[in-house]
A and B are shown apart, each in its own frame.
Chain A
Amino acid sequence: MHSEVSLYQDPQHAYIGKRQPRVEDEALLRGLGRYADDLAVLPGTLYAAIVRSPHAHAVVKQVTIDAALAMPGVRGILTGADVKRWASPFPVGVRQPMEHWCLAVDKVRYVGEPVAVVIAEDRYLAEDALDAVKVEYDILAVAIDPETATHDDASILHEAVGSNVVNDRHFSYGEADSAFEQAEHTLSLKVRYPRSACTPIECYVVVGQYDPAEGGYDVMANFQGPYAIHSVMARALRVPANRLRLRTPPDSGGSFGIKQGVFPYVVMMGLAARKVGAPVKWVEDRLEHLSGASSATNRVTTIEAAFASDGRVSALRFDQLDDCGAYLRAPEPATTYRMHGNLTGAYDIRHLQVRNRIVMTNKTPTGLNRGFGGPQVYFALERLMQRIAVTLDIDPLEIIRRNLVPSQAFPYRCAAGALLDSGDYQRGLELGIEQGGLAELRQRRDVARQAGRHYGIGYTVAVEPSISNMGYITMAQTPEERRRAGPKNGAVSTATINVDPLGSVSVHISSTPQGQGHRTVAAQVVGEVLGLPLESIRVDVELDTGKDAWSIASGNYSSRFAGAVAGAVHNAALKIRGRLKAIAAQQWQVPVEDVVFSEGRIQTADGEHSTSFHRLAGATHWAPGTLPQGETGGLRETAFWTPAELTAPDDDERINSSLCYGFIFDYCGVEIDSLTGRVMIDRYVTLHDAGRMLNPQLVDGQVRGAFAQAVGAALYETFHYHEDGSFASGTLADYLIPTTMEVPDPHILHMETPSPFTPLGAKGVGEGNNMSTPVCIANAVADALGETVEPGAIELPLTPSRVRTLMGIEEPPQPEGVGADSVSASAGGGSKLSASDSVEIPASPQQVFDSILEPETLKAMIPGCHSLELTGDNAYRADVTVGVGMIRARFDARVELTDLEPPHSLRLSGAGKSGMGDATGAATIRFTEIDGGRTRLDYDYEVTIGGKIASVGGRMLSSASKMLIGQIFSRLSQQVSGDRIKGSLWQRLRGLLGKRGGDA
């Protein structure tokens, strides 16, 4: 399917806005790319291999290197002791006593953490010697799950901090509390976003050198920026920034954020070179990369909305727990704050409360990853919007529409401070519905469902932030801490244009691309401004911090190229043009505005005067004496550009976290294979408004690439850790990147609302689908599975086994003639289980006792209860669905309350029959008053299960019944306390349970 592009057709533009084949491609297609491992190294260069920890958490007692040093070709070994002598820990983004060194110095905190570096005459020999380095460990308990890592009894990674929670911040905007109190409805959803990475095909490569004469390091690495990290590296190496010359290769084999994480190795290989007195080269292998390079931050979010019956949301609460792994590596906790200003998404929601916690676990440290914070936020927000729609029984699209930021409201200041620069979200929605064929997609769903197939449609809207504000990272600090540290803000981009004596034009940009086509677009912009053919312009994207113009925001991240860097290129080209115009105007004695540039010539608009570009430009070198007064000669201009809108966070904690905010509207239809649980994307429609498109072909390329990665994140990819912290996704046969067979062609739509804040009106577009697509697919899967699945159980990746488990095995319909009479009180001959437990309830024994006798309460207490019908004195007939493992059975059950001794004890018994087997059970419940009008409820129960359902095995049955019975009493607790405290709690519970808990 070809995309439909509304080309920015302005006849005045020769190149900008046009589909333009890339200047990069010819060399890459011929195999002449120059990637980091292709570059020549100096004679005598040695090769490194890294000894890594096999343990997730351990004290490093001793590192013995003698045997390894004696191995053939080994020239030296760098250990923690060397690192302590020559280097410092990396600076950390929060004020906590935690140290991260480039090599472990005392403890290891994740599987794959570097412990020593073997340096040998070739890579094979270095790897041979790895096993000969003997490391003695004292193994410690691990903290893997982010929630349990916050508990008091969790194993602590950084002892000096005293807790695994290293940062805990609360934010409040507007009047969220009263909005929640006054709301007709509230709804809460807890979701978990997993770990994955947009892992590139080229791994890390570093070549380090040390110059003892200057006391400086010279390192080539396929680093991607941001160059704020240069300061982190220089400080770790204990040198001024001008003694760390960092260079990048001409080509880089993808990054998507991940190659930001090469920086500890830049330091490590600089030190390795110092250790052996020779250049040291390191090429990472895939196992090292997957296990130890970098990862997206996994997050546990509890999100809550206050909303009216028409679906209008008045307030949101986010509780975000971010798992940054074993170390808080710069720029983390940026994942948490990148989206902060625009947490309310594309919606006009004025009241907002946020709690952000950063937790350390024994996993690989996190870092930049395409989408950076966006997938996590939208997964919570857009799943919640879908739940609101289901709860109110209103079309999800209608819920979205009613909450969008109004078209006339731009620029729109969000509750948390983002200034949405431009957009027309309503029009985007209409365009997407119409041009993407939503009506047909709905028909396809109807047809599929009529045929008994599992088909669902999911929707997502998102704003895609780009050109991040360097100041957002300081949101992890309190306003007081920020005041003390001094303001941080802005995002400086740079471009340099040089015109040589023969009049040919060279451009340098410090954007460090990894395949995005920056050279092409920069040439388009310069060609446009100076009226030159594209092929005559040469663009250099290597960055050498020792020679080139750069700043902390240099590099390739936060989709900043089109808006910021291309804008700086434009500004530099305007400077060159301005100088040339002045020279021509003086030579021809015409007004400056009459001078025009086109087709390689500089001329007057009336055509009376004309000269070639190279002749006039060359004069700045060959004949400076002929130039106007004030003209310095030579022709080279560097433009620095930073937007005024990117101010530092204010004392009310508002932050415009990015400069530009594009708009995305996605929807998709998915079908689930009922046999295997495989999710198949039937159609995916994605509409983008990224402002003005500089090269629509490259825009589509970004959309397609992000979409494919998002399909991976939604359905296949995850970094899996075992309970002991061992890593289980170390090869590309375990970590499943989608292939041609899994990635459908998305239907791409565009609209253009230029940004008023960037020089060319362009916004970023590189990360949108990484943010919108995972949740869009999840919403479609939720729609396909329907209300039998707990909303919070829709977790990524939605692999066939996970989806199949969610679907369960539905029992076949009851054969005719077999009726209710066949329900007997005894099952006999099955598995027998008994146990006791207790629960505390914030109400008096009498209140609790009375509640149980109420049919409504009883119905709400029983999980999966479809209906409850009174058949006698405290006797009921119930229709209940119970799941054990994958088996889901619908029971026709009798429930009875007997031996009533108010308010001290009663007996709850039941017997049920289903196609999957039968069950009987009874519990004796005792009510004891404890302090302050609370009740402890003790219960002993006995359950007998027979038939197919018993075949799942005793252990599973035991844990399933324990869970089920636990659920019954915790639901009772919620019922009783909810009724007592506030009516809306009951509504909330009903909302949580979908329509199962009530008759809404």
Chain B
Amino acid sequence: MYVRVDERHRVALTLNGRERSGYAEPRTQLCDFLRHQLGATGTHVGCEHGVCGACTVMVDGRATRSCLMLAVQVEGRRVETVESLSDEDELSDLQRAFREHHALQCGFCTAGILMSCHEFLGRVLEPNEAQVRDMLSGHLCRCTGYTGIVQAVLDVARARQNNRQETP
């Protein structure tokens, strides 16, 4: 894709399973594009330099900091945000576990954490606590002290494992 510095360009992508497009300058950050052009405000911006992890989304199935990526880089790609995790009726097992374990307070960092956990649980089927903590170490949460988050992820992994055993 050829882009000019001082012009806006149409960027088309698949956002949470739907074809979407919007306009972005070459320098527009992906997080700003998702939030302010496409209205997906569930993704939050905490530091804009890739440390806090609040803006984490999935790009082509990989957890990615949307503040460190440009909008034009997702042209033609698949992006999932926190809004994709549940349907209208029901929260996902991961989201329910977060609620049960009081794994969120202000909820600002939660969207990014959920996306990292979502990717992780798809990749690591039987994680131990050390692995979960290692994965979460890319996120800053200022409210919870992390205990509930770690417990929620371990719970979901265990429950999914039990389900797999019951339904071979």
Query: Could you list which residues of chain A lie within 8 angstroms of chain B, going by C-beta atoms?
Result: 21-22, 24-26, 28-33, 35, 37-38, 124, 198-203, 251-254, 256, 285-286, 514-517, 697-698, 700-701, 704-705, 707-709, 731-733, 737, 739-741, 743, 745-746
Contacts and interface: CB of A to CB of B under 8 A. Distances in A.
Interface string B111-133: 10010000000000000000011
B7 interface: no
A740 B47 CA distance: 18
B21 to A, nearest CB: 19
A708 B98 contact: no
Given A29-B91, A29-B95, 17 more contacts: A21-B100, A25-B98, A30-B83, A31-B43, A253-B44, A254-B105, A286-B48, A514-B106, A515-B106, A701-B143, A707-B145, A731-B47, A739-B137, A740-B132, A740-B136, A740-B139, A746-B145
Contacts of A26: 91, 99
Interface in B79-118: 81-83, 85-86, 91, 95, 98-100, 102, 104-111, 114
A21 B41 CA distance: 24
B82 A30 contact: yes
A253 B108 contact: yes
Closest 7 CB pairs of A and B: A31-B42, A515-B106, A253-B108, A28-B107, A704-B145, A515-B105, A708-B145
Given A21-B100, A29-B99, A705 B109 contact: no
Interface string B133-148: 1101111111111111
A382 B150 CA distance: 32
A198 B105 CA distance: 15
A124 B27 contact: yes
A22 B111 CA distance: 17
Interface in B44-98: 44-49, 51-52, 54, 81-83, 85-86, 91, 95, 98
Contacts of B44: 35, 201-202, 253
A37 B134 CA distance: 30
Contacts of B99: 21-22, 25-26, 29
B155 interface: no
A285 B45 CA distance: 9
11 contacts: A26-B91, A30-B83, A33-B107, A251-B107, A253-B107, A705-B142, A708-B141, A732-B49, A732-B51, A739-B146, A743-B146
A119 B114 CA distance: 36
A707 B148 CA distance: 14
Contact of A29 (B45, B104, B145): B104
Given A201-B142, A732-B49, A515 B134 contact: no
Contacts of A33: 42, 107-108
Contact of A737 (B43, B95, B142, B147): B142
Given A285-B48, A740-B133, A705 B104 contact: no
Contacts of A252: 106
A701 B146 contact: no
B102 A38 contact: no
Contacts of A705: 105, 142-145
Given A201-B52, A286-B46, A731-B47, A31 B82 contact: yes
A701 B104 CA distance: 9
Nearest to A128: B27
A740 B137 contact: yes
Contacts of A286: 46-49, 52
Nearest to A707: B145
Nearest to A286: B47
B120 to A, nearest CB: 12
Contacts of B140: 201, 732, 737, 739
A44 B99 CA distance: 39
A124 B28 CA distance: 8
A739 B136 contact: yes
A252 B109 CA distance: 11
Contacts of A701: 102, 105, 143-144, 148
A828 B38 CA distance: 77
Given A26-B99, A286-B46, A731-B51, A200 B144 contact: no
A28 B43 CA distance: 11
A31 B49 contact: no
A700 B102 contact: yes
A741 B134 contact: yes
A25 B104 contact: yes
A201 B108 contact: yes
A705 B140 CA distance: 12
Contacts of B81: 31
